[in-house]
Amino acid sequence: MAAHTDLRSEPIGYWLKRADQVLTGHVGRVLEDQGLTRFHWQVLNILDQRGVTTRAALSESMRLFVDAEGVAGILDDLARRGWLVRHEPDGLDAAALSLSDEGRQGRASVFQLIDAARKRSMEGIAEEDYRTVITTLQRMIANLEPGPDQRRTLPEREPA
């Protein structure tokens, strides 16, 4: 793909959606032989990072990507694979969850695939450029997403 000389020829929303589509598609193709999705990978990572968590906490963490029913399906799949341990049968949402030994091994294998995909996606992109993109997107979100104690107001319009 040739680089555009006019970076504003397409709105940023186009590039965000297009990048998400391409990344999701590529990761999907990388993981399909394992019967996994990008969302499985994200859940595996959250479980690995937290050690122990709950379905409710996982659903909250994944809410931008998949609904609670989708998270439940992923957890069921991981349990069928023997990759998930449910520690307390106090109810599906409250049960403590963690990766089993097989789950940690599975995650490590999947990590190798994801790492290769990340390296491919980052070819020709300097670390500084990546940081600039991330900090720019973080700033845009902060500029547009009001926090609980902060409401951005538009300047008053002059009467016509």
| pLDDT higher than 60, residue 26 | yes
Q: Quick: pLDDT tens for 51-92.
A: 999 999 999 999 999 999 999 999 999 999 999 998 866 555
Shortest CA distance to 43 belongs to which of 32, 30, 31, 53? Answer: 53
What local confidence, expressed as pLDDT, does residue 35 receive?
A: 95
Strand partners, 98: 85
Mean pLDDT of the chain: 86
Helix (H, G, I), strand (E, B) or coil at 72: helix
Q: Which domains does the chain have, with CATH numbers?
A: 14-144 (1.10.10.10)
Q: Which residues pair with 53 in a beta bridge?
A: 97
Q: What is the pLDDT of residue 160?
A: 42
**Tokens 């990759």 sit at which residue?**
83
The distance from CA 36 to its chain's CA centroid, rounded to whole angstroms, is 14
| Two tokens, residue 120 | 């491919």
pLDDT for position 87: 83
For residue range 136-151, what is the model confidence (pLDDT) as tens digits?
Answer: 999 998 999 887 655 5
- Whole-angstrom CA distances from 39 to 50, 78, 92, 132, 135 are 16, 12, 19, 26, 24
Q: What is the pLDDT of residue 154?
A: 43
Alpha helix positions (H), the chain: 12-31, 38-50, 55-62, 68-80, 101-121, 127-144
pTM over 0.85: no
Looking at residue 86, what is its pLDDT?
A: 87
